[in-house]
């Protein structure tokens, strides 16, 4: 996760990664290019204890017994992923763990053990750490995660929080990004775009004020990934492919399609969007569809499943304590991510797409 919001990734790369060598910079390579280079330079050769290395939401490692070990890590940087205007210290503690639990959920796993690395500015008040830990503990108590170690260092100008999270999953229940099949239905849990709406409110001091939209603020500051539902989808063999929505459905569905060698057709009218999001979008003349597709940071689960599993997924919905899934499209043979919306059909990755959705 270089920058997990599509609208700030560029800004993040410019401020952190500019490293001119001729005209070619890390900024030009982009996150995917950088990861490809790391993967391609022989630093990660095949090994019998690594079932899945780079390329999914978690690494999947061999362990004794019937379970696989899942490992993921994500970093939140002040100025890129949060500011003191968008996240309180308590919300930062919560969210730093939540974004990692989301990746364990995306494999169908159970989150277990966290390691917390903090880069702290020397002038940071002690109250910051107190509040951070309140948020971190509140989230870990909800999910049963135990903090078992970490690292603490000085950071000259911005706060940096890295959480590494271990989890497990019965080996045959792990769900990868690469398993989507032509004809599968595409599902997403919860609502899309609320976190982007919340970020809009927190970043713009003008009216409307954040207090008018508490659910959107909560979605941005304290996401609650539906890991019980993720586990049930993996355990029941329901999901063929799964990913968490951290960069927006358009991009994250792209990862599933790329790794499964398929394409996707989304129904714009089926995308689950909350009433507050639509009301805010109307009030500030923004596109709720764009927030839903590209906003990112929803930390919901996006998965594909055979059409014959629809009744079982709907019955899981009825029982789910943490979230419901909505059917939003289907997997197709032709490559590309397509959207059917009132104006017609458009290809999401094409530049024209941004003009298409108003
Ligand atoms: P996610 O959004 O699910 O956290 P990312 O897009 O951050 O996933 O990462 C995609 C894949 O690339 C993951 O398998 C991750 O472990 C791997 N990856 C990202 N950065 C690095 C790195 N610097 N070195 C090795 N692997 C990396
Ligand atoms: Mg992920």
d(Cα 259, Cα 287) in Å, to the nearest integer? 29
Q: Is the CB of 164 under 6 A from ligand 1?
A: no
Taking residues 181-202, what's their average pLDDT? 97
At 212-259, the pLDDT tens digits run 999 999 999 999 999 999 999 999 999 999 999 999 999 999 999 999
Q: How far is CA 334 from CA 10, 341, 352, in A?
A: 30, 19, 19
d(Cα 14, Cα 1) in Å, to the nearest integer? 15
Nearest CA to ligand 1 atom 23: 35
pLDDT range class, residue 349, cuts 50, 70, 90: confident
Q: Dihedral of the CA atoms 27, 31, 37, 42 (nearest 10)?
A: 140
Nearest CA to ligand 1 atom 4: 1
Q: Is the CB of 32 under 6 A from ligand 1?
A: no
Neighbours of 126 (CB within 10 A): 7
Q: Is the CB of 297 under 6 A from ligand 1?
A: no
At 335 the pLDDT is 93
Q: How far is CA 186 from CA 89, 302, 310, 349, in A?
A: 36, 7, 11, 18
Q: Is the CB of 1 under 6 A from ligand 1?
A: yes
d(Cα 249, Cα 348) in Å, to the nearest integer? 10
Phi-psi region of 102 (alpha: psi -120 to 50; beta: other; left: phi over 0): alpha
Atom number, ligand 1, closest to the C-alpha of residue 106: 3
**Residue 290 C-alpha to ligand 1 middle, in angstroms?**
25
**Residue 355 C-alpha to ligand 1 middle, in angstroms?**
31
Atom number, ligand 1, closest to the C-alpha of residue 1: 7
47 pLDDT higher than 50: yes
User: Do the Cβ atoms of 253 and 302 come closer than 8 Å?
Assistant: yes
At 7-33, the pLDDT tens digits run 333 323 233 344 445 668 888 888 888
**Residue 346 C-alpha to ligand 1 middle, in angstroms?**
29
89 pLDDT higher than 80: yes
User: Do the Cβ atoms of 181 and 240 come closer than 8 Å?
Assistant: yes
Share of the chain above pLDDT 90, in %: 77
DSSP conformation class of 94: H
User: Which has the higher per-residue pLDDT, 322 or 201?
Assistant: 201
d(Cα 70, Cα 114) in Å, to the nearest integer? 12
At 102-111, the pLDDT tens digits run 999 999 999 9
In the chain, where does DSSP find H-type helix?
6-17, 26-40, 89-105, 126-143, 194-203, 214-221, 227-235, 249-260, 275-283, 288-294, 310-319, 353-356
Tokens of 129: 């750490």
Q: Is the CB of 252 under 6 A from ligand 1?
A: no
Atom number, ligand 1, closest to the C-alpha of residue 43: 25
C-alpha dihedral sign at 322, 324, 328, 329: positive
d(Cα 18, Cα 13) in Å, to the nearest integer? 7
At 19 the pLDDT is 46
d(Cα 99, Cα 300) in Å, to the nearest integer? 10
**Residue 244 C-alpha to ligand 2 middle, in angstroms?**
5
Nearest CA to ligand 1 atom 11: 55
- Ligand 1: which of 6, 9, 54 to mutate, most ligand atoms within 8 Å of CB? 54
**Residue 38 C-alpha to ligand 1 middle, in angstroms?**
10
User: Do the Cβ atoms of 147 and 116 come closer than 8 Å?
Assistant: yes
**Residue 261 C-alpha to ligand 1 middle, in angstroms?**
20
**Residue 107 C-alpha to ligand 2 middle, in angstroms?**
9
CB neighbour list of residue 212: distance below 8 Å, 6 or more residues apart? none
**Residue 304 C-alpha to ligand 1 middle, in angstroms?**
22
pTM higher than the cut 0.75: yes
d(Cα 154, Cα 60) in Å, to the nearest integer? 32
Neighbours of 242 (CB within 10 A): 28
Q: Is the CB of 54 under 6 A from ligand 1?
A: yes
User: Which has the higher per-residue pLDDT, 17 or 341?
Assistant: 341
Average pLDDT of the chain to the nearest whole number:
90
**Residue 31 C-alpha to ligand 1 middle, in angstroms?**
9
- Ligand 1: which of 35, 38, 51 to mutate, most ligand atoms within 8 Å of CB? 35
Share of the chain above pLDDT 70, in %: 89
Neighbours of 149 (CB within 10 A): 10
User: Do the Cβ atoms of 241 and 179 come closer than 8 Å?
Assistant: yes
């Amino acid at each position: 996760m270089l920058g997990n919001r599509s609208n700030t990734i560029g800004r993040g790369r410019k401020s952190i990664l500019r490293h001119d060598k001729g005209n070619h910079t890390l900024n030009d390579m982009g996150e995917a290019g950088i990861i490809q280079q790391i993967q391609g330079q022989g630093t990660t050769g095949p090994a019998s204890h690594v079932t899945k290395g780079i390329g999914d939401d978690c690494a999947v490692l061999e362990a004794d017994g019937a379970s696989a070990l899942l490992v993921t890590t994500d970093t939140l940087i002040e100025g890129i992923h949060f500011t003191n205007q968008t996240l309180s210290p308590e919300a930062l503690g919560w969210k730093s763990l939540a974004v990692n639990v989301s990746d364990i959920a995306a494999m169908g796993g159970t989150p277990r053990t966290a390691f917390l690395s903090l880069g702290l500015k020397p002038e940071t008040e002690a109250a910051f750490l107190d509040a951070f830990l309140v948020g971190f503990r509140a989230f870990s108590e909800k999910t049963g995660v135990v903090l078992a170690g970490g690292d603490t260092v000085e950071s000259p100008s911005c706060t940096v929080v890295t959480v590494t999270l271990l989890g497990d999953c019965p080996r045959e229940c792990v769900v990868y990004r690469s398993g989507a099949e032509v004809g599968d239905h595409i599902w997403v849990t919860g609502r899309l775009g609320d976190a982007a709406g919340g970020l809009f409110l927190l970043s713009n001091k003008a009216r409307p004020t954040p207090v008018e939209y508490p659910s959107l603020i909560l979605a941005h500051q304290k996401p609650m990934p539906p890991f019980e539902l993720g586990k049930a989808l993996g355990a029941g063999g329901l999901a063929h492919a799964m990913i968490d929505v951290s960069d927006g459905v358009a991009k994250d569905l792209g990862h599933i399609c790329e790794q499964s060698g398929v394409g996707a057709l989304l129904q714009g009218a089926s995308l689950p969007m909350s009433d507050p999001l639509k009301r805010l979008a109307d009030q500030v003349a923004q596109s709720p569809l764009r927030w839903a597709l590209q906003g990112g940071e929803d930390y919901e689960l996006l998965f594909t499943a055979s059409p014959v599993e629809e009744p079982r997924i709907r019955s899981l919905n009825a029982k789910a304590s943490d979230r419901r899934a909505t059917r939003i499209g289907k997997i197709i043979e032709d490559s590309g991510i397509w959207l059917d919306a009132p104006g017609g059909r458009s290809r999401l990755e094409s530049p024209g797409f941004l003009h298409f959705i108003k």
